[in-house]
Amino acid sequence: MSADLIDGKAHAAALRAQVAAAGARFNAERGRPAGLAVVLVGEDAASRVYVASKARATLEAGMQSFTHRLPAGATQEEVLELVVRLNADEAVDGILVQLPLPPQIDETAVICAIDPDKDVDGFHVNNAGRLAVGQDGLVPCTPLGCLMLLRARHGSLAGLRAVVVGRSNIVGKPMARLLLAQDCTVTMAHSRTRDLQAVVREADILVAAIGRPLAIPGAWIKPGATVIDVGINRIEDPAGSGKTRLVGDIDFDSAVQVAGAITPVPGGVGPMTIAVLLRNTVVAARRRAGLGADA
Ligand code: NDP
């Protein structure tokens, strides 16, 4: 048996087209495009690539993109001042501060300084709280993208056993809350979980957000399960070519023999994250304009 591949690129392209149309409607109604501001502090190479691709995707969706770069030595006050300025800027509907921040900057303080209505990453405590109690807010992009893939595969998720491995604030916890809101029976696993294999084996839906290459082998997976691999890990090519390659937290080669459907790495969850960021920006723009969340 070989699992169906969940094509994140195709789903992301469809979502981006939908968001571009919603953005165009917003522009027509309000006489300005929705705007996303991205703040990059320092010179981290991976962060620079992410920020550039977010800016490009924002422009491709017909929205306005503002990139603000601060030097690696920027002070907490300088970062907070910039966030305060962006909060007050009417052309800015979404603010994203690229993480990680340099060690002298308090990440939590910066995230909490963002206007929750412009917090398109959904990391602000108000948005985390809204998700926890089932109120409308802005939802973190990666788990929302995973949920969209699952809904596209299953329709209703009600009653399914879902296991989320990883409990970070940006992926694991919001993922579990989203699945609970879909009436799944949810288990959260983490580094202190006893007998992870037995827990994973229960899952009709398995979401791995661990950050450990190939940590979950196919032998642990329930036959027919839907497997969402959030992990992005760079490893040396086992074939010994001296190059590196990206792998997920799931051992894809063995999992694909057992699962019913699985996301590849790359090309699974990753493309959804940026598409949902654009979607969140249009949602934020519409809500701020009192138009309701049509994106
Ligand atoms: P964190 O490091 O913040 O969290 C990792 C979680 O995995 C923790 O809860 C940790 O448990 C748990 N964990 C670690 N080791 C084990 C283990 N051996 N068994 C079970 N659980 C374990 O990572 P993130 O949530 O930020 O990211 C997870 C992965 O997803 C990374 O590979 C990251 O690169 C990727 N990612 C991908 C995105 C995308 O767009 N595709 C977006 C965001 C992240 P504990 O809490 O006990 O320490």
Say how far apart CA 282 and CA 132 lie, in whole Å: 22
Which residue, among 278, 247, 12, has the nearest Cα to 138 in the 3D structure?
278
Mean pLDDT for the stretch of residues 270-282: 97
252 within a domain of the structure (yes/no): yes
Q: In this structure, is residue 7 part of a structural domain?
A: no
Q: Whose CA is nearest to atom 35 of ligand 1?
A: 231
Note whether residue 20 is domain-resident: no
Q: Is residue 111 part of a domain?
A: yes
Active site residues per annotation: 54, 98, 121
On whether both 109 and 165 belong to a single domain, the answer is no
User: Is 47 annotated among the ligand-binding residues?
Assistant: no
CB under 6 Å to ligand 1: residues?
A: 142, 165-168, 170-172, 189-193, 196, 209-212, 215, 230-233, 269-270, 273
Does residue 278 form part of some domain? no
17 domain-assigned: no
Return the CATH number at 96: 3.40.50.10860
10-22 confidence digits (pLDDT tens): 999 999 999 999 9
Burial class (CB in 10 A: 0-12, 13-18, 19+), 76: middle
Q: Which atom of ligand 1 lies closest to the CA of 172?
A: 25
18 within some domain: no
Asked if the structure places residue 280 within a domain, the reply is no
Q: How far is the CA of 211 from the centre of ligand 1 (A)?
A: 4
Q: Supply the range of the domain harboring residue 259.
A: 141-270
Q: Is 235 flagged in the annotation as binding?
A: no
pLDDT computed for residue 1 by the predictor: 66
Domain final residue pick, 97, 115, 133:
115
ipTM above 0.90, yes or no: yes
Pairing of strands 261-262, 244-247: unpaired
Cα–Cα distance, 85 to 67 (Å, whole number): 13
Mark whether 243 and 153 lie in a shared domain.
yes
Do both 194 and 252 map to the same domain?
yes
Residue that finishes a domain, picked among 99, 115, 131: 115
> 162 and 254 share a domain?
yes
Total domain count, the chain: 2
What CATH number is associated with residue 169? 3.40.50.720
Phi, psi of 245 (to 5 degrees): -145, 160
Tell me, yes or no, whether 111 and 149 share the same domain. no
Distance 189 CA to ligand 1 centre (A): 11
Read off the pLDDT of each residue in 93-104 and give the average, rounded to a whole number: 97
169 plus 241 within the same structural domain: yes
Q: Convert the pLDDT of each residue in 200-245 to its tens digit.
A: 999 999 999 999 999 999 999 999 999 999 999 999 987 888 999 9
- Both tokens assigned to 265: 């790495």
Same domain, 110 and 176: no
